[in-house]
Structure 1
Amino acid sequence: MSTRSRAVLLTAVAAVAAVALSACGKGGISGGGGDTHFVTGDNGIDTVPAGERAAAPDLSGKTIDGKSLDVADYKGKVVVINVWGSWCGPCRSEAQYFAKVSKQYEGKGVQFVGINTRDSSTTPAVAFEKDHGVEYPSLYDPTGKLMLRFEKGTLNPQLVPSTLVIDRHGKVASRALEALDDTGLEDMIKPVLAEK
């Protein structure tokens, strides 16, 4: 196969994959039907009323710098989970906003946690965080096992990047399946932070 034919084939495969991935982010549920009790707003953010939220699964393990982390230890705080990979273009676009907003909410009852996925080693993940000024911890999940712990039909991270906001009681309040800027990120955090 010639270099040009190979390039055309790779472009076609990439286009099909992009269409498939974009289609995944519009459905609102993952892995099951039924009444999900969540609503997608005009801003693309899925939300669930406080009394109907599902508990976040066990999100614990080693961070990209080898430390132990358990998201359950942050119960009582609003937790922002960002699923990302150093290889992901949209993740690079949104990283500056996550670094900025995480600093703005420092000491205000909000904890940011990343979940780095599909990086074959921690080296590119550590470099990514350093390059983008990300100072909060990120769990290392190269095979996506943490993402699979979310129950079917809940606000689960279906794409990379995905962002979830977990309320003070450890329940998933909202989700975005696209790259966010600072405004979109704050649109997710503020209502949950305002809850009593």
Structure 2
Amino acid sequence: MSACRAPRRLNRRRVTLLAAGAAAASLTLSACGEGASGGSAQTQFVQGKDGIDTVAKAERKPVPELSGETTTGKKLAVADYKGKVVILNIWGSWCGPCIGEAPNFAKVANETKDKGVQFIGINTRDAEKSQAVTFEEEHKVPYPSLFDPAGKLMLRFPKGSLNPQSIPTTIAVDRQGRIAARSIGPLTEDDLRKMVDPLIAEK
């Protein structure tokens, strides 16, 4: 544990970089495992027996601003998809459970795109875009992913909200751009549909 402590005398810029790295590293430490699903009175989410945490419509909070460059070098902003159900999947090419769930995500994404659903990945902890692109090609991922090697986008989720706590994590956003559900860990096809279908049915 002492290895994680920063030296006492550091300049401000280095401290900022170390803080961001440490926060991102915390996701790596819990990566591919079952993170804690803790919450707060602000979120009012319900922990489901299937591992999917949900929030009632009246209690949902806006998804943070998530934008940047994709793994293929294009610009993408999650806000541009307001009006659609957005499924965010945080993944890494190095993550075994991410590999295992990839076919499920590809299948459900293809089958729901005409129902107003947009899947978006957030690739993290891959040093090079080529690693992520190879993964996407091998697993026939049909949707774009933001390239977030340092985990900065994940830090934008408010603490105590349905925020990413391990890799993989999947977050469902309703048509109004609000966080509606979260699942920590890999998802089967059936469990993924349990996240997507209720939001498709919402009016």
TM superposition score normalised by structure 1: 0.85
Specify every segment of 5 or more residues in structure 2 that has no aligned partner in the other structure, as ranges.
Answer: 1-26
1:27 equivalent in alignment to 2:52? no
1:146 deviates by 0.4
Pairing 1:144–2:151 present: yes
Q: Which residue of 2 aligns with 1:160?
A: 167
TM-score of the pair, normalised by structure 2 = 0.83
Taking only aligned residues, the RMSD between alpha carbons, in angstroms, comes to 1.9
1:117 aligns with 2:127: no
Q: Conserved in 2, the CA contact under 8 Å of 1:56 and 1:170? A: yes
Aligned to 2:182, the other structure's residue is in SS state: strand
Q: What secondary structure sits across from 2:196 in the alignment?
A: helix
Q: How many residues align?
A: 177
Q: Distance in 1 between matches of 2:173 and 2:159?
A: 17
Structure 1 residues 29-108: aligned runs within 5 Å: 29=39, 33-108=40-115
* Residue among 165, 172, 181 paired with 1:174: 181
Quick check: 1:61–1:68 contact (8 Å CA) kept in 2? Answer: yes
Identity among equivalent positions (%) equals: 54
Q: Deviations over 1:102-160 (max 9, x none)?
A: 00012110000000000001011000000001010000000000000001111111110
Distance in 2 between residues matched to 1:182 and 1:154, nearest whole Å: 25
Q: Residues 113 and 21 (structure 1 numbering): CA distance in 2 closer, same or farther, change over 3 Å?
A: closer
C-alpha distance in structure 2 between counterparts of 1:19 and 1:119, whole Å: 15
Q: State the 1:53 CA deviation.
A: 0.6
Alpha-carbon shift at residue 19 of structure 1 (Å): 9.3
Cα shift readout 1:28-74 (whole Å, capped 9, x = no counterpart): 23xxx545300110000000000101100001000000000001000
Structure 1: gaps (5+ residues): 1-16
